[in-house]
């Protein structure tokens, strides 16, 4: 009987856990002003990436000196669309941010001058 109880434990140990996938966030405002264009941010370790209003983008997360948190070395595809001005606002604001705060249902990026970007989770 004891061996029969252990069998499910051994089988469960053989099953691999699903891969960790990055969590996606949608930008909803910059400095308290609604951001109507579509822009997303995902974090995967020390890499950030997402979709701007026109282009896909990627960047490196820097956390030194602690507690700073910045996205640097941003690179983006070079596609044109009618929201390039909004995209420039997004990229400029994002690269100015120096700290992040995450909680249930929200992500905020802030800089030392009081500017902020607010994100909400992207529903799959």
pLDDT tier at 9 (50, 70, 90 boundaries)?
very low
DSSP of 26-64: EEEEETTEE--S--EEEEETTEEEEE-SS-EEEEEEE--
pLDDT value at 10 more than 70:
no
Q: How far apart are CA 116 and CA 93, in angstroms?
A: 8
pLDDT tens column, 26-85? 999 999 999 999 999 999 989 999 999 999 999 999 998 888 899 999 999 999 999 999
- Whether the model pTM is above 0.75: yes
Higher pLDDT, 15 or 101: 101
């Amino acid at each position: 009987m004891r061996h029969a109880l252990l069998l499910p434990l051994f089988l469960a140990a053989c099953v691999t856990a699903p891969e960790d996938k990055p969590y996606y966030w949608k930008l909803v405002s910059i400095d308290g002003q609604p951001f109507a264009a579509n822009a997303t941010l995902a974090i995967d370790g020390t890499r950030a990436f997402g979709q701007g209003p026109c282009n896909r983008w990627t960047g490196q997360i820097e956390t030194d000196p602690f507690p700073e948190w910045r996205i640097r070395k941003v690179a983006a595809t070079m596609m044109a669309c009618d929201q390039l001005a909004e995209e420039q606002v997004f990229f400029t604001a994002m690269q100015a941010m120096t700290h992040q705060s995450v909680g249930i249902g929200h992500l905020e990026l802030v800089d030392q001058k009081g500017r902020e970007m607010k994100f909400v989770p992207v529903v799959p």
